[in-house]
Amino acid sequence: MRALDVICLRMLVASTLPWLVTSEKVTFQTITFPAEFKTVTAKVMVNSTTCSVTCGLGYKYEAMCFVLTNGTKTDCEVRRQSCLTNWVCGLQTFTVAIGSPFIISCFTAAILGTGNQKLLYNWRVARGIITTDDALFKPFKTKNYTIRFDPAVEKSAGTYRCDVQLAVNRKLIKRVYFGLKIISKSLVNLNFEKFLTSKDKLEALAAAEEAKPQRTVIRKDMSWQQKALYVCLLGGGSGFLAALVVGGIIYFLFLKRNQSILEEEEED
Do 68 and 151 have their domain in common? no
Among candidate residues 131, 161, 183, the one where a domain is terminated:
183
pLDDT for 69-88, tens place per residue?
A: 777 888 889 988 888 888 89
Among candidate residues 158, 183, 208, the one where a domain is terminated:
183
**Torsion of the alpha carbons at 190, 195, 199 and 201, rounded to the nearest 10:** 50
- Does the residue 150 lie in any domain? yes
- Does the residue 102 lie in any domain? yes
Do 48 and 25 have their domain in common? no
Strand partners, 27: 20
Ranges 96-100, 113-117, 135-139, 225-229: which has the least confidence: 113-117
**What CA–CA distance (Å, rounded) separates 174 from 162?**
8
- Does the residue 235 lie in any domain? no
- From the list 173, 103, 192, 170, the residue with the least C-alpha distance to 142 is 103
Among candidate residues 66, 85, 104, the one where a domain is terminated:
85
Do 166 and 106 have their domain in common? yes
Indicate the pTM of the whole model: 0.52
- Does the residue 57 lie in any domain? yes
**What CA–CA distance (Å, rounded) separates 240 from 223?**
26
Do 142 and 156 have their domain in common? yes
- Does the residue 146 lie in any domain? yes
Per the model's pLDDT, the better-predicted residue between 140 and 247 turns out to be 140
| pLDDT tier for residue 113 given thresholds of 50, 70 and 90 | very low
Do 169 and 92 have their domain in common? yes
Do 99 and 178 have their domain in common? yes
pLDDT for 197-228, tens place per residue?
A: 666 666 777 777 776 665 554 555 666 667 66
pLDDT at 19: 41
Do 98 and 138 have their domain in common? yes
Do 72 and 135 have their domain in common? no
What's the number of domains the chain is made of? 3
- Does the residue 254 lie in any domain? no
Could you tell me the residue range of the domain that residue 132 belongs to?
A: 88-183
pLDDT for 157-189, tens place per residue?
A: 999 999 999 888 888 999 999 999 998 877 666
Do 122 and 143 have their domain in common? yes
